Amino acid sequence: MLVLGIESSCDETGAAIIQDGRYLRSNVVASQIEIHNRYGGVVPEVASRQQLASIIPVIETAMEQAGCDWKDISAVAATYGPGLAGSLLVGLTVGKTLALAQDLPFLGVNHLEAHIYANWLRKGEEPQPVADWRYQPGDPVFPLLCLIISGAHSELVLVREHGHYELLGQTRDDAAGEAFDKVARILGLGYPGGPAIQKAAEQAEEEMRRQNRPIRDARKAYRMPRAWLRGTYDFSFSGLKTAMLHLAEGVTNTPPETRPSVTTKQISRYARMGAHAAQQGAPDVGLLAAGFQEAVVDVLAVKTRWAAEEYQVKQVVLAGGVAANTRLRERLSEELTPLQLPLSYPPIEFCTDNAAMIASAAYFHLCRGERHQLDIDVVPGLSL
Ligand code: KG4
Ligand code: ZN
């Protein structure tokens, strides 16, 4: 079964054709990073206009690259939430229109569920016959624990079976990716913040290695706070963000109760200050990045291990843009290896927003006989 998937929830425009929910026939993504970089984050109005400009060429390219015709396609799927309303509307409307015009079933997909299904995608594998849609050798095994960490979400989800999700915990304030993006602004490292912080941290670690010092010295140079929120599987990263601001400001000796609360204006001010420090090649920026990354990754890895033990899962999978972080992957395998628990994560291009994961998630719904009427609307605040 070939499904055309469409993704337009934020600042990436994607179209992909996926066979049997797993095998790639094409996967095209047009990114707006260059445009939003100028503003230090995604500007919703700009994002939706850009979606409009990209969506048709992206779909045409995906059809062309898959070398298929409309008669080969079994269904059309598009993200209907969560995300930016204006951006979502573009992909959903185009998807519904194509389904109507080609007389194909339509399925609206939850973007968060799709991030989980990125783990079913296989890169560079020839399509194989699928005897049972539920399981193909090489697929993740249920029950599994999924850590979804993206620009807008940090969630621990127990997946007992296809389509059965139990939310164990979520962020109480900033999402992990949002924290990476804001802290990168504070340090003047640009947008998107995740890859920039990872790179700065790696450079600081490399510098330690050059000096024949253990690389953990880079991670420990600035000891950052960790919010464990024991007794829950929730996360909180806003305290860490504030600590970063104060470190950047050099007022870490001020007692916490007398520290000013952080405003957007301050973030902009420190963004300029950090940009200056980064330009000067100040070593502190790398050490701050390494300390921050370590604090985020530590909490994510340890709490994931706690949940995996409590719920006796057979596998742990990562999903979402922050899953691209190499230190997180490394740290989480350190936690899970003693438990002999397999960890899997999608190749980087399937971690960040893409349409292949949308088509994959849609396939499993379609196999259960589900589809949507064409009056389905966008749901910007959709949850799992
Ligand atoms: O899943 P995604 O592409 O979009 C959303 O659905 O939000 O995630 C984007 C987020 C951004 O916050 C970005 O900074 C973060 O993923 N990210 C990373 C890395 N690559 C992307 N965070 C940490 N390390 C990375 N290597
Ligand atoms: Zn996403």
Q: Do 322 and 363 fall within a single domain? A: no
Residue nearest to atom 23 of ligand 1 (CA): 194
Is 382 contained in some domain? no
pLDDT (mean) for 222-243:
92
Binding region for substrate: 148-152, 181, 194, 325
Strand residues in 32-72 grouped as ranges (E): none
Is 357 contained in some domain? yes
pLDDT the model gives residue 43: 77
First to last CA, the chain: 25
Q: Over pLDDT 90: what percentage of the chain?
A: 75
Q: Residue-wise over 202-212: b if at least 16 C-beta within 10 A, else e?
A: bbbbebbeeee
Extract the tokens encoding 75.
């269904």
CATH number of domain containing 356: 3.30.420.40
Is 16 contained in some domain? yes
Using 50, 70 and 90 to split pLDDT, how confident is the model at 11?
A: confident
Which pairing describes strands 144-149 and 315-319: parallel, antiparallel, or unpaired? parallel
Using 50, 70 and 90 to split pLDDT, how confident is the model at 253?
A: very low
Kindly state the helix (H) or strand (E) to which residue 191 belongs, with its residue range.
Answer: none
pLDDT the model gives residue 265: 55
Q: Is 14 in the pocket of ligand 1 (CB under 6 A)?
A: no
Q: Do 133 and 194 fall within a single domain? A: no
* Counted domains in the chain: 2
Extract the tokens encoding 182.
């804001």
Is 317 contained in some domain? yes
What Cα–Cα distance (Å) separates residue 362 from each residue in 77, 79, 314, 342? Answer: 6, 10, 24, 25
pLDDT the model gives residue 255: 44
Extract the tokens encoding 162.
């296809």
Is 372 contained in some domain? no
Q: Give 82 Cα–ligand 2 centroid separation in angstroms.
A: 9
- What is the rounded CA–CA span in Å between residue 31 and residue 14? 9
Q: Give 195 Cα–ligand 2 centroid separation in angstroms.
A: 15
Is 383 contained in some domain? no
Least confident of 84-88, 282-286, 323-327: 282-286
Q: Is 21 in the pocket of ligand 1 (CB under 6 A)?
A: no
Tens-digit pLDDT profile for residues 104-144: 999 999 999 999 999 999 998 999 999 999 999 999 999 99
pLDDT the model gives residue 258: 43
pLDDT the model gives residue 260: 42
ipTM of the complex: 0.98
Residue 355 · residue 16 · CB < 8 Å: yes
Q: Is 109 in the pocket of ligand 1 (CB under 6 A)?
A: no
Pocket test of ligand 1: the residue of 150, 199, 357 to mutate, having most ligand atoms within 8 Å of its CB, is 150
Instruction: Say whether 17 sits in a helix, a strand or coil.
Output: strand
Q: Do 310 and 356 fall within a single domain? A: no
Q: Give 178 Cα–ligand 1 centroid separation in angstroms.
A: 8
| Ligand index nearest the alpha carbon of residue 181 | 1
Is 168 contained in some domain? no
Q: Give 13 Cα–ligand 2 centroid separation in angstroms.
A: 12
Is 32 contained in some domain? yes
Structural domain of 188 = 176-341
Q: Do 234 and 300 fall within a single domain? A: yes
Q: Is 47 in the pocket of ligand 1 (CB under 6 A)?
A: no
Backbone angles phi, psi at 337, to 5 degrees: -55, -45
Indicate the residue type of 92: L
| Ligand index nearest the alpha carbon of residue 114 | 2
| Ligand index nearest the alpha carbon of residue 355 | 2
pLDDT (mean) for 54-78:
96
| Ligand index nearest the alpha carbon of residue 192 | 1
Best CA proximity match to 361, nearest among 324, 328, 319: 319
Residue 88 · residue 57 · CB < 8 Å: no
Peptide bond between residue 82 and the one before it cis (omega within 30 degrees of 0): yes
Indicate the residue type of 223: R
pLDDT (mean) for 313-325:
96
Beta bridge partners of 77: 5, 107
Residue nearest to atom 2 of ligand 1 (CA): 321
Q: Give 7 Cα–ligand 2 centroid separation in angstroms.
A: 9
Strand residues in 300-365 grouped as ranges (E): 315-319, 343-344
Q: Do 183 and 231 fall within a single domain? A: yes
Q: Do 101 and 216 fall within a single domain? A: no
Tens-digit pLDDT profile for residues 355-374: 999 999 999 999 999 999 99
Tens-digit pLDDT profile for residues 187-227: 888 888 999 999 999 999 999 999 999 999 899 888 788 99
Q: Do 331 and 182 fall within a single domain? A: yes
pLDDT the model gives residue 267: 54
Q: Is 295 in the pocket of ligand 1 (CB under 6 A)?
A: no
Q: Do 281 and 360 fall within a single domain? A: no
Q: Give 194 Cα–ligand 1 centroid separation in angstroms.
A: 6
Ligand 1 atom closest to residue 353's alpha carbon, by position in its atom list: 3
pLDDT the model gives residue 264: 53
Q: Is 363 in the pocket of ligand 1 (CB under 6 A)?
A: no
Instruction: State yes or no: pLDDT of 276 exceeds 70.
Output: no
Q: Do 313 and 355 fall within a single domain? A: no
- What is the rounded CA–CA span in Å between residue 293 and residue 246? 16
Q: Do 14 and 132 fall within a single domain? A: yes
Q: Do 58 and 123 fall within a single domain? A: yes
Instruction: State yes or no: pLDDT of 307 exceeds 90.
Output: yes
Q: Do 186 and 268 fall within a single domain? A: yes
